[in-house]
Amino acid sequence: MAARRALSLLALASAGAALQVQEGIQHNLTVCNAYAESKPLSVYTVNQKAKLTDEPLPYKACKELVLELADSERIDFRLGGLSVGTFHVGNLPFAPTSLLLVPYRRGNGTMAATFYSHAFSVAQESSQLAVVDAYDGSSPGSLKIARGSGRHGRESAALKPGAAVSLAPGAYEVSLEDPDSKSVKTVALSAGDGGKHVAMRVGGSDGLPQELVLFSAGERSERSGVRRASAALLAAAAVCAALLA
């Protein structure tokens, strides 16, 4: 009996140590604002009471952050002084990971935000592309990707919303197309080893048009009207391993 009790205490102590280790882990978090509203969003952690962005994050912009995250943390997004949505962190990896979090509007005239979250695979050496459909309007559209540049003799593949795909090194073009396969917007993507990329269809609410936003972690260039912020990097785990909202 005493032996069993000792084993139980040891198990509890081990669990406590694991939690402490997890809380001290720094993750790379990228936040992309797909919330269809002309005003920017302010981002805060609720438990740590920290403001994550020096300035509110504009619509269609992404910000890379490095911070300690623990399960049960909450990340709050505010439009002015109004909270439009709070993301509950859960199932975090026990190793430094690149994470992605995208708030966007639920549609149906509500101001409330919903979220897309993803963890990029740490075991994968090829580039990874997360696909997000944050559009809440009525115009149909789809995202596609093609290898190389130029339109002649190329095959394109559909990008399924909510999926993450691996890309061999090389040049690609990501496009937003209407139901007649006519390009609304095409953006170049350069895939290198270990790259982390995000393709988003945004717009809909408040009369904002559907647009393609492509973000590559670690870059500062502008693409599709988006300014890349920098810090260190973002989200990861394979297609189904992600944060729980």
What is the predicted pLDDT for the residue at 68?
87
- pTM confidence score: 0.77
E strand or H helix at 147? strand 142-147
Nearest to residue 102, comparing CAs of 161, 32, 160, 39?
32
Q: Which segments in the chain show pLDDT lower than 70?
A: 1-24, 150-153, 219-245
% helix / strand / coil in the chain, to the nearest 5? 10, 45, 45
Contact 33, 62 (CB under 8 A): yes
Gap between the Cα atoms of 102 and 86, Å rounded: 12
What is the predicted pLDDT for the residue at 212?
97
Residue whose token pair is 């995250």:
69
Helix ranges (H only) for 83-141 are none
What is the predicted pLDDT for the residue at 120?
92
Q: How far is CA 119 from CA 77, 78, 144, 171, 196, in A?
A: 20, 24, 22, 24, 10
What is the predicted pLDDT for the residue at 5?
35
DSSP state of 238: -
Q: Which two tokens stand for residue 170?
A: 């090389």
Q: How far is CA 29 from CA 32, 109, 118, 229, 231, in A?
A: 10, 29, 10, 12, 9
Residue whose token pair is 């993750």:
27
Summarize pLDDT for 3-16 with one digit per residue, the tens. 433 323 223 232 33
What is the predicted pLDDT for the residue at 156?
87
What is the predicted pLDDT for the residue at 1?
45
What is the predicted pLDDT for the residue at 150?
64
Nearest to residue 222, comparing CAs of 230, 232, 234?
230
Alpha-carbon torsion angle 102, 172, 165, 135, nearest 10: 30
What is the predicted pLDDT for the residue at 219?
57
What is the predicted pLDDT for the residue at 186?
94
- Furthest C-alpha separation in the chain: 76
Contact 62, 31 (CB under 8 A): yes
**Pairing state between β 164-167 and 82-88:** unpaired
